[in-house]
């Protein structure tokens, strides 16, 4: 990674920045979940949730948690820790956001590579996600396949696509 760029686990002091990045990315599309729901996702799997720092500034984040394949979080409800007690070989990449001033620098790919390496070393065999707002092109370029037969709820917005990929040995 370049000097001054670091990926680390989310800490309590990061939530204002994470919530601001999430709101900036999703509020105008009606997809913003709000700080309490975001925190509930991270509490469900803190080992697979990260921020990307440039210097002392949080430029992006990723929230992911174990979920059965072909299932996904309800955007209108917080995660309940008891519901996450099952073991899944599928890691659901719930949200990956890079702040507007930091896009088109490969930072999304760096954060995704870190998550993929973490998933592999943690024993996950697949990563799934719901691509929103036309992001399926980015995810396809990163090896994800669409599962067109899966109908998603309206809370994910028009044209949302459930996608997944098998984690390959040696893939970063």
Within-domain flag for 36? yes
Q: Model-level pTM?
A: 0.91
Query: 156 vs 38, 73, 78, 125, CA distance in Å?
Result: 15, 10, 15, 25
Task: Count CB atoms within 10 A of the CB of residue 83.
Answer: 11
- What was the pLDDT predicted at 172? 53
Q: Are 18 and 61 in contact (CB under 8 A)?
A: yes
Distance from C-alpha of 145 to C-alpha of 118, rounded to nearest angstrom: 20
User: Can you give the pLDDT at residue 82?
Assistant: 45
Q: Residue 171: inside a domain, yes or no?
A: no
Handedness of CA 158, 23, 25, 78 (dihedral sign): negative
Q: List C-alpha distances in Å: 52 to 19, 94, 113, 115, 162.
A: 14, 16, 12, 11, 25
pLDDT of 120 reads 95
Residue 54 lies in a domain: yes
Which ranges of the chain have pLDDT less than 70?
A: 1-3, 81-86, 169-172
In a domain, 32, yes or no: yes
| Long-range CB pairs of 77-80, under 8 A, 24+ apart, other chains included | 77/37, 78/36, 78/37, 78/40, 79/37, 79/40, 79/41, 79/43, 79/44, 80/40
Domain assignment present for 47: yes
| Domain count along the chain | 1
Q: Is 172 among the domain residues?
A: no
What range does the domain containing 113 cover?
5-166
CATH of residue 26: 3.40.630.30
The 10s digit of each residue's pLDDT in 88-124 is 899 999 999 999 888 888 899 999 999 999 999 999 9
> Do residues 90 and 124 make contact, with C-beta atoms less than 8 angstroms apart?
yes
For strand 126-131 and strand 145-146, is the pairing parallel, antiparallel, or unpaired? unpaired
């Amino acid at each position: 990674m370049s000097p001054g760029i670091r990926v680390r686990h989310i800490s309590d002091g990061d939530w204002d920045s994470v919530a601001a990045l999430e709101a900036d990315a999703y509020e105008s599309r009606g997809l913003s979940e709000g700080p309490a729901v975001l925190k509930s996702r991270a509490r469900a799997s803190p080992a697979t949730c990260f921020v990307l720092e440039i210097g002392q500034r949080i430029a992006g984040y990723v929230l992911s948690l174990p979920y059965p394949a072909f299932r996904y979080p309800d955007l209108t409800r917080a995660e309940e820790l008891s519901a996450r007690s099952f073991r899944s070989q599928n890691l659901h990449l719930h949200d990956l956001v890079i702040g507007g001033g930091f896009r088109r620098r490969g930072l999304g790919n760096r954060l995704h590579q870190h998550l993929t390496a973490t998933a592999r070393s943690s024993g996950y065999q697949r990563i799934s996600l719901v691509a929103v707002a036309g992001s399926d092109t980015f995810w396809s370029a990163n090896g994800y396949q669409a599962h067109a037969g899966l109908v998603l709820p309206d809370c994910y917005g028009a044209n949302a696509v459930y996608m997944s990929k098998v984690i390959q040995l040696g893939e970063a």
